[in-house]
Amino acid sequence: MNPFKRLLLSSCVFITMNVVAVEGMWLPEQMPSLKKDLQAHGLELAPEQLSSLDKFPMNAIVSLGGCTASFVSPNGLIVTNHHCIYGDLQYNSTPEENLIEKGFLAKSMAEERPAAPGRRVWVTESVTNISQVMKSGLDKLSGRALLDELERRTKSQIAQCEDEFHRCRVFEFYGGAEYYLLRQLELKDLRIVYAPAEAIGKFGGDIDNWMWPRHTGDFAFYRAYIGKDGKPATYNKENVPYKPKGFLPLSKQGIAPGDFVMVAGYPGRTYRHKISTEVAYRFEKYYPRTQKVLADLARIIETIGAQKREAAIKYASRLAGLNNYAKNFQGMMEGYARSHMLENRRKQETQLQQWLNTTPEMKPYRTALEDLKAALAQQHALQETDAWSSWLLGTGMLSTARNLYKWSLNQVKPDDQRELGFQVRDRERWEGYLRSLERRFDIDVESANFRYFLEKLFASENQEIRNIVKIVTGNAKNVDEAVDYFKRIHGDSVLSDPETRLALLDKKPDFFEKSSDPLLSLAVRLYPILKAREDRFKEINGKVKKARARFMEAKLAYFEAQGRPMYDDANSSLRITYGNVQGYPALGQQKPRDGVACDNNGCRYTPFTTATGIVAKDTGKKPFNVPPVERQLIEKRDFGAYEAKFLDDLPVNFLSDVDTTGGNSGSPTMNGKGELVGLLFDGTYDTLNADWEYTDNTRSIHVDVRYMLWVMEKIDHADNLLKELVIH
């Protein structure tokens, strides 16, 4: 039976269980099965309405690729997080005009600025189950053969689905037990409309990132444009605003503690169905190593950026990302140390195995768990061997040169035989990347990164790694000599010129193979080594995929036998989560302050922070530098129509128990009527390992729509946008 049909049939078992109901990132089509629980929590819309992608409010939800956003006007106005627009602000900034610091407001459409090349917005139009087509006849395949056949079928489905204006993706659910085809309209002309100053949009910076209490105005606006003929088109001054099929009105009344909220978006990745060996590997090896690397790379950028303002601007977006993930990984490791996650996962596996062993019809699945563990052991061993050299090969323009050569090798093949990511459909994306490269490149930063990784590898005894090091260092005798070589080949390469980079997309493999350009020649020499590595990974990954699909089929059957629903891990597909506005018990020693209440029983994080709390954090220095005009307004208590009576203050951020993760950034937070009451922008530090294990204290952080509107009206005077928005 279709696993999703099983979920629908079994949903009646859990709808009275509040904790289970709040947990979960649900597909829109599952909403009708959750009807009683949704209505009990406070949904006023018909749940069936949420499963219709062409109806309000789902027809307003869009993907930015890594972030979520939503239409909020009939003229293509889009709202998302400030940190989601950060890279486009950086792209449009110079030392003389730093849009990141001062913010940006277009008083008219003519003043709106193009986003970075390659920036897109995707409007989901349909999601179709293609499991039978994707899975038929795969039982006898494994390893590389399985991956190759799945890729062939994926490309075939995409080719049949796409046209000039639509992009399609095949999504794997439940480890390969189900497959769905997503069709999206691709809008190619996206422009920056408004972003508050960094002192509002990123108030608290990396110190407050993932933390509660929070006081960040993490919001910004784009506008989508199309050609005069009504079809998607790249940037042109003559383009006109896109007219979405639906948009979200804003609720000036906002929400209060205990109120129902729901979030629709494109959550990236969660790992709640990963098995115990994966938990142990990630938290005991991968996260500790990677967290240190991310933190070290951030320090390199900060050190060089302090001396080179141009480099600081070029790497502002990357630095924010490095700090974000470094803190995220640190929080997950600390949460793991406090938890019983590994023990819980092992108990769950023991219970599943006992059921498989005692259920006659499940006999074919009794080795599924052990088979998966065996395949993962091989995969983890390869990852450990190759980690540092993979990072090394990502520095400077080494990866650019390698990808251009790989592109040429694919272009001599028929399009349906090219690798995913290197087909005709991908050319615009590569062009956008190549055009914007110099805006995000500084040789001093990249050389320092190269040195950092090379020092870990220069004396490696692994023959493959030694061969890689010899090629990328020009057989240098020591690290200093190698870094000099790295700088020299970048200075001598044609890749430093944007037009030449673009022209290389049309070159055949023999051009690269005959080239004397140092970076292109290096890419050719590296290719056989990296191709052999890729082949090894594909063989092992194919084994893991086959084993995981069988394990997940067994797990689905186990949940069905217990009458329990099972949502899949996040995979960047459209999901809905819902819950209520509420705080949670505070960890560690706390003092009463905005967002924290204490009594004889301890302290608790309250669900709202206020404008008064902004002033309390003001130090006059980044990242707690409150703009003078904002401080004056708060001290005068000039909150206008946006004051919340239950707070006697202006709400800034709030907490809810909706189930979200990375990729949900910018997701609209809606009330029971589908009105926008805020934007999801973060999680809480002490529950960051919710990606692996949801708990009763898992919370998401949202920016309150009342604070957004107040900033727009009182501080930035975005009167043109306030008139355009529909505000209830």
Residues annotated catalytic, as ranges: 83, 218, 665
CB atoms within 10 A of CB 510: 10
- Residue 497 buriedness (CB in 10 A; 0-12 / 13-18 / 19+): exposed
Angle at 474 between CA 471 and CA 476, to 5 degrees: 120
**Contact, 201 vs 214, CB < 8 A?**
no
Q: What is the DSSP string of 186-241?
A: EE-EEEEEEE--HHHHTTTHHHHTT-SS------EEEEEEE-TTSS--S--TT-EE
Instruction: Give SS3 for 331.
Output: helix
CB atoms within 10 A of CB 55: 17
Give which of 164, 174, 136 is closest to 6, Cα–Cα: 174
Q: For residues 60 and 49, give the distance between their C-alpha atoms in angstroms, rounded to a whole number.
A: 13
Give which of 725, 707, 723 is closest to 640, Cα–Cα: 707
Q: For residues 241 and 224, give the distance between their C-alpha atoms in angstroms, rounded to a whole number.
A: 6
Element counts in the chain: helices (H) and strands (E): 28, 21
Q: For residues 536 and 548, give the distance between their C-alpha atoms in angstroms, rounded to a whole number.
A: 18
* Structure-token match 């023999």, residue found: 510
**Contact, 326 vs 685, CB < 8 A?**
no
Phi, psi for residue 191 in degrees, rounded to 5: -125, 145
For the stretch 113-135, what's the b/e string if a residue is b when 16 or more beta carbons lie within 10 angstroms of its beta carbon? Answer: ebbbbbbbbbbbeebeebbeebb
CB atoms within 10 A of CB 11: 20
Q: List Cα–Cα distances, 245 to 75, 76, 238, 633, in angstroms.
A: 10, 10, 22, 38
Label each residue of 426-441 as H, E or C.
HHHHHHHHHHHHHHHC
Alpha helices in 124-168 (DSSP H): 131-135, 143-161
First to last CA, the chain: 45
**Contact, 586 vs 603, CB < 8 A?**
yes
Give which of 584, 575, 586 is closest to 662, Cα–Cα: 575
Q: For residues 6 and 186, give the distance between their C-alpha atoms in angstroms, rounded to a whole number.
A: 33
Angle between helices 316-338 and 82-91 (to 10 degrees): 150
Angle at 449 between CA 445 and CA 451, to 5 degrees: 115
Phi, psi for residue 221 in degrees, rounded to 5: -130, 140
**Contact, 137 vs 66, CB < 8 A?**
no
Q: For residues 380 and 368, give the distance between their C-alpha atoms in angstroms, rounded to a whole number.
A: 18
For 22, the token pair is: 């709040």
* Structure-token match 């869009």, residue found: 62
